[in-house]
């Protein structure tokens, strides 16, 4: 009996349904990939899973030595390898998929895939991945060293004239966005051959310009103080601090910090031991006298009408300016002297010392009316005269009086800004308020005596706290010895 071809075809499909599922479920190690299956250009035909895995991994490993040029700051080429960027095989599951072709799925799907392979190869893409941490490390270690820091335009004053110093454009690698760019390029555009990738480099234009700095030529404020009574060390400290500040250029909106320029107070930074205030006493410290530098600068800046943002008065009164016109700094206590350039143009600070006088000139562009005058007035609110603190000393004889330390008058004061136009006062504004400690003088009085009455009287005198009264009592208790005539004759001879 002749069989219809249609029924013969259906019978074959039924036979495949009965025989093939067992093989598809096993996926044994000796199963091989069907002919016509590729991983990109790698022919996987007849390979076991292990062989296919090894073949593709070898291809990826060979790419590790591929050179990739990264363009850092100023287009500086940095050559690295794909291996350094953490290249890895990203879709190893393709081996299992390739092995399952013609084995898994329903009988019709399997039969169709096998027929398709007879007409056209099945090609799987090899996907690559890169380690973002490795890319970041390469950028930081090999590319950021080529960053160029911008240098603002500068200004120097020589022989009474200003000279502008050229600035420099800066370049800095944007590491975060460059990591994304390198990763994206390698994933989407890389053709597996040596290539060049431009990194994201930020351009930092230098602050200032020749045109802007050429406007700095007017004296906005000037102030001088004297230190003619200072010793060598204090004079040296004032000279050193002044030199460290001289030439400072402050652009609009910038904040000036004196600490940043004059510290640390060390011998290596040019400082000597000299007197300074500490805990109500005058003690020697490195940099003693630096506060006269900040005080002189403070007064020059006030006359220039710049915005003072941090200022402290001394703990005790100073003599080189009026009360409340001083500005103290201290590295140990964190006291700084700061101002912000609130003007439209840069300001240049010129400082110099001559004949034990220190002067600061503030240069900028004068925009104030010539009929406008600014001056500052110190207003003393309270004066606290120093006393003498008396100590009884039983180890010294009655009649001994020793005085030590220096007394300081205490003050409470304010500083006021007075503005005049055409010679008439138009405004009066309080600038600051200051409080200075009163420091008493110390006196030691001897109380050792065999006379109980004298002891009681001197102790009572000490109890009054009046050193003048103590001396009067001692004059009564211990009258000066009388001179005899014979001694007087001898003296005359």
What's the pLDDT at 29?
Answer: 53
Q: Mean pLDDT across the stretch 243-255?
A: 97
Q: Is the pLDDT of residue 111 over 90?
A: no
Hunting for tokens 């606290």 — which residue is that? 384
Q: Mean pLDDT across the stretch 430-434?
A: 97
Confidence of residue 396 (pLDDT cuts 50, 70, 90): very high
In 3D space, the residue among 225, 245, 221 whose CA is nearest the CA of residue 235 turns out to be 225
Query: C-alpha angle with apex 43: 41 to 49, nearest 5 degrees?
Result: 120
> How far is Cα 401 from Cα 447, in angstroms, rounded to an integer?
10
Mind listing the pLDDT tens digit for each residue in 444-464?
A: 999 999 888 889 888 998 888
What's the pLDDT at 85?
Answer: 97
Confidence of residue 480 (pLDDT cuts 50, 70, 90): low
In 3D space, the residue among 391, 390, 388, 383 whose CA is nearest the CA of residue 437 turns out to be 383
What's the pLDDT at 387?
Answer: 84
What's the pLDDT at 3?
Answer: 47
> How far is Cα 189 from Cα 163, in angstroms, rounded to an integer?
51
Which residues lie closer than 8 Å to 26 by C-beta, 6 or more apart? none
> How far is Cα 45 from Cα 123, in angstroms, rounded to an integer?
11
Hunting for tokens 């390469």 — which residue is that? 138
Q: Is the pLDDT of residue 184 over 90?
A: yes
What's the pLDDT at 11?
Answer: 53
User: 133-137, 158-162, 285-289 — which one is most confidently predicted on average?
Assistant: 133-137
- CB of 199 closer than 8 Å to CB of 139: yes
What's the pLDDT at 112?
Answer: 75
What's the pLDDT at 17?
Answer: 47
Q: Please compute, for residue 358, the number of CA atoms within 13 A of its CA located in the half-sphere on the CB side.
A: 30
Q: Is the pLDDT of residue 138 over 80?
A: yes
> How far is Cα 268 from Cα 270, in angstroms, rounded to an integer?
5
Distance of CA 45 to the CA centre of its chain: 64
Q: Could you write out the three-class secondary structure of the chain? A: CCCCHHHHHHHHHHHHHHHHHHHHHHCCCCCCCCCCEEECCEECCCCCHHHHHHHHHHHHHHHHHCEEEEECHHHCEEEEECCCCCCEECCCCHHHHHHHCCCCCCHHHHHHHHHHHHHCCEEECCCEECCHHHHHHHHHHHHHHHCECCECCEEEEECCEEEEECCECEEEECHHHHHHHHHHHHHHCCCCCCEEEECCEEEECCCCCHHHHCCCCEEEEEEEEECCCCCHHHHHHHHHHHHHHCCCEECCCCEEEHHHHHCCCCHHHCCCEEEEEECCEEEEEECCCHHHHHHHHHHHHHHHCCEEEECECCCCCCCCCCCCCCCECECCCCECCEEECCCCCCEEEEEEEECCEEEEEEEECCCCCCCEEEEEEEEEEEEECCCEEEEEEEEEECCCEEEECCCECEEEEEEEEEEEECCEEEEEEEEEEEEECCECEEEEEEEECCCHHHHHHHHHHHHCCCHHHHHHHHHHHCCCCCCCHHHHHHHHC
Letter string b/e over residues 482-491, b meaning 16 or more CB atoms within 10 A of that residue's CB = eeeeeeeeee
- Return phi, psi of residue 175, to 5°: -65, -45
> How far is Cα 477 from Cα 471, in angstroms, rounded to an integer?
10
Confidence of residue 487 (pLDDT cuts 50, 70, 90): very low
What's the pLDDT at 257?
Answer: 97
Q: Is the pLDDT of residue 350 over 90?
A: yes
What's the pLDDT at 18?
Answer: 47
Query: Cα(first)–Cα(last) distance of the chain, in Å?
Result: 178
Lowest mean pLDDT among 5-19, 20-34, 377-391: 5-19
Query: C-alpha angle with apex 204: 201 to 210, nearest 5 degrees?
Result: 150
Average pLDDT over the chain reads 89
Q: Is the pLDDT of residue 26 over 50?
A: no
Confidence of residue 25 (pLDDT cuts 50, 70, 90): very low
Q: Is the pLDDT of residue 231 over 60?
A: yes
Q: Mean pLDDT across the stretch 67-81?
A: 95
- Return phi, psi of residue 147, to 5°: -60, 145
What's the pLDDT at 326?
Answer: 97
Confidence of residue 136 (pLDDT cuts 50, 70, 90): very high
Q: Is the pLDDT of residue 190 over 50?
A: yes
In 3D space, the residue among 50, 41, 186, 79 whose CA is nearest the CA of residue 128 turns out to be 186
Q: Mean pLDDT across the stretch 11-27?
A: 47
Confidence of residue 147 (pLDDT cuts 50, 70, 90): very high
């Amino acid at each position: 009996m002749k069989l219809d071809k249609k029924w013969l075809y259906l019978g074959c499909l039924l036979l495949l349904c009965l025989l093939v599922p067992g093989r598809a479920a096993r996926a044994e190690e000796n199963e091989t990939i069907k002919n016509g299956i590729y991983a990109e250009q790698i022919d996987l035909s007849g390979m076991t899973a292990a062989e296919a895995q090894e073949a593709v991994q070898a291809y990826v490993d060979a790419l590790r030595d591929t050179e990739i040029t990264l363009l850092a700051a100023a287009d500086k080429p940095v050559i690295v390898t794909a291996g350094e960027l953490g290249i890895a095989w990203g879709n190893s599951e393709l081996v299992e998929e390739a092995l399952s072709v013609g084995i898994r799925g329903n009988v019709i799907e399997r039969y169709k895939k096998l027929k398709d392979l007879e007409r056209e190869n099945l090609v799987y893409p090899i996907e690559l991945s890169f380690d973002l941490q490795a890319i970041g490390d390469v950028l930081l270690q090999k590319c950021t060293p080529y960053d160029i820091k911008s240098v603002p335009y500068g200004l120097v004053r020589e022989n009474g004239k200003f000279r502008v110093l050229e600035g420099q454009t800066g370049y800095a690698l944007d590491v975060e966005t460059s990591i994304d760019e390198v990763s994206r390029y390698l994933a989407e555009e890389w053709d597996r051959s040596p290539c060049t990738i431009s990194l994201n480099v930020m351009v930092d234009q230098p602050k200032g310009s020749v045109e802007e700095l050429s406007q700095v030529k007017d004296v906005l404020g000037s102030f001088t103080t004297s230190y003619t009574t200072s010793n060598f060390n204090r004079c040296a400290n004032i000279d050193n601090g002044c030199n460290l500040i001289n030439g400072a250029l402050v652009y609009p909106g910038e904040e000036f910090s004196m600490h940043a320029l004059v510290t640390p107070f060390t011998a290596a930074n040019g400082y000597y031991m000299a007197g300074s205030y500490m805990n109500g006493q005058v003690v020697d410290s490195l940099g003693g006298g630096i506060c006269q530098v900040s005080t002189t600068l403070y007064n020059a800046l006030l006359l220039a009408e710049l915005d003072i943002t941090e200022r402290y008065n001394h703990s005790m009164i100073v003599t080189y300016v009026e009360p409340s016109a001083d500005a103290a700094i201290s590295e140990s206590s964190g006291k700084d002297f700061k101002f912000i350039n609130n003007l439209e143009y840069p300001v240049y600070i010129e400082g110099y010392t001559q004949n034990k006088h220190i002067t600061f000139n503030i240069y900028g562009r004068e925009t104030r009316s010539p009929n406008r005058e600014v001056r500052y007035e110190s207003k003393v609110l309270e004066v606290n005269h120093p006393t003498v603190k008396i100590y009884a000393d039983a180890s010294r004889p009655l009649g001994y009086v020793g005085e030590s330390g220096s007394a300081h008058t205490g003050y409470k004061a304010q500083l006021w800004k007075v503005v005049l136009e055409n010679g008439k006062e138009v405004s009066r504004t309080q600038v600051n308020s200051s409080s200075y400690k009163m420091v008493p003088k110390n006196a030691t009085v001897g109380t050792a005596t065999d006379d109980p009455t004298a002891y009681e009287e001197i102790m009572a005198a000490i109890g009054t706290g009046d050193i003048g009264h103590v001396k009067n009592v001692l004059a009564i208790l211990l009258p000066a010895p009388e001179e005899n005539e014979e001694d007087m004759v001898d003296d005359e001879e």
